[in-house]
Copies of this chain bind each other. A is one copy, B any other.
Amino acid sequence: MEYRFSKTLEGFQSSAVREILKLTQGKSIISFAGGLPAAEHFPLQAVGEAANRALAQGASALQYGLTEGYLPLRETMTKRMAGKGMNVKPEEMILTTGSQQVIDLLSRVYIDPGDVILVERPTYLAAIQVFQARGAQIVSVESDRDGMKLDDLAAKIAQYAPKMVYVTPTFSNPAGKVWSLERRKGLLEQCLKANVLILEDDPYGELQFDGGERYPSIFSLYDGGQAAGNPVVYTSTFSKIVAPGLRTGWALGDVEVIRNIAKAKQAADLQSSTMDQMTLHQLLEHFDIDQHIGVIQADYKGRMKLMASLLAEQNWEGVEWSEPKGGMFFWVELPEGAKAEDLLKLAVEEGVAFVPGSSFYAGNPVHNTMRLNFTHSDNDTLRLGMQRLATAMQKYQAAGRMSR
């Protein structure tokens, strides 16, 4: 048998993170590469109690359920979303297998091959993969620390007549940036005018370190944060505030958009796990999630501060980074001409891994950047990993491969 795979397959590239993990197999490697949350914070006991409560409700916990998701969990989550200025009804929300599935399903019901999607530069690599597999033309908008530059956005909208813009405005992956209010409003205004859909990906929004006022979602900035007619589809996930293994995310949007996502989901997998959704519902009823998020925020802030001081100690010439205000990553810029891929090989030899930044560009990748995760390693591991990275960097510089 000679298998004849589809042309679409070419779009499904195995991710750089996955290739790195292969390099590390069988070795004792400290990984700053993945985007894993700290397992110490998974509420194991509370999840166990919630699972038992879900099963105590009888067979419905194990039966088929609605494609749109378990209604009581949607009701709970619409209340939670209202607290963040997003005023939606349960039928304007769908529960999915993580927020990754929202990116995929929305692409299927909204994007045709050849359609243009605007993205940040850099942007989330697994979104690029989905859009590529869809046959979309992905165009980057010039971005600085405040978000997409509005003049370049206007130029790209005029030039490409895009169907959708994909953004992660709060603690973006990989660059850890926070969009300013002006840029959020500017994006919304331009997209409304040009009839362009916005996919607002917000997996990290709850992981804010400074305890100050929250950054408003772009969704909430539209007409009282209502779903009807909103050009924004907003998605988030329980992966970073409870646990990723329960694979539950959600999307908010106009009821027509949500209904069409549900049609695609029905064909894709009928529905997500009934058991996991009922467990999460019971967890939210009997567990102080906000107190729990506070604990995670404080701990992650501590890890971030430690990694910041370890980075500062290195005094690497020409290397730039800044402290993220939330999320899970440092974005480090090496001097021009440096290749993070080459540094990675040396780093893996020393026993530490990261993701070269080039994976996060839709085109014309920048090679002198790297993403470092600080949430999955404890303090001792952070210190040891940074020591190893420092050794790798010395070797890289000694080899004369770091241009000044």
The reply to whether B270 and A195 form a contact with Cβ atoms under 8 Å apart is no
Ordered by A's residue number, 30 sampled pairs between the chains whose C-beta atoms are within 8 Å are: A1-B254, A3-B197, A3-B254, A3-B256, A4-B163, A5-B110, A6-B108, A8-B108, A9-B264, A12-B263, A15-B266, A34-B64, A39-B59, A39-B62, A42-B62, A63-B244, A100-B270, A104-B267, A126-B267, A129-B266, A133-B264, A245-B274, A245-B275, A246-B274, A247-B269, A247-B271, A247-B274, A268-B268, A273-B273, A276-B276
Chain B residues contacting A247 (CB-CB under 8 Å) are 269-274
A312 in the interface (beta carbon within 8 A): no
Which of A44-52, A146-154, A299-307, A353-361 lies at the interface with chain B?
A44-52
Count of chain copies: 2
The reply to whether A246 and B8 form a contact with Cβ atoms under 8 Å apart is no
A288 in the interface (beta carbon within 8 A): no
- Residues from 231 to 283 in A contacting B, C-beta threshold 8 Å: 231, 239, 242-247, 254, 256-257, 260, 263-264, 266-276, 279
The reply to whether A266 and B14 form a contact with Cβ atoms under 8 Å apart is yes
Residue in contact with A269 in the complex, picked from B3, B58, B104, B230, CB distance below 8 Å = B104
Chain B residues contacting A90 (CB-CB under 8 Å) are none
New A-B contacts (11) at CB < 8 Å, excluding given A42-B63, A64-B245, A104-B267: A6-B115, A8-B112, A18-B266, A39-B60, A62-B243, A62-B244, A96-B269, A97-B97, A244-B274, A269-B269, A273-B276
A328 in the interface (beta carbon within 8 A): no
A390 in the interface (beta carbon within 8 A): no
Closest 4 CB pairs of A and B: A245-B274, A39-B59, A62-B243, A62-B245
Chain B residues contacting A229 (CB-CB under 8 Å) are 1
The reply to whether B1 and A269 form a contact with Cβ atoms under 8 Å apart is no
B-binding residues in A (CB < 8 A): 1-9, 12-15, 18, 34, 36-37, 39-40, 42, 44, 47-48, 51-52, 55, 58-65, 96-98, 100-101, 104, 108-112, 115, 126, 129-130, 133, 163, 192, 195, 197, 229-231, 239, 242-247, 254, 256-257, 260, 263-264, 266-276, 279
Q: How far is the CB of A61 from chain B (nearest CB, A)?
A: 6
Chain B residues contacting A12 (CB-CB under 8 Å) are 108-109, 260, 263-264, 266-267
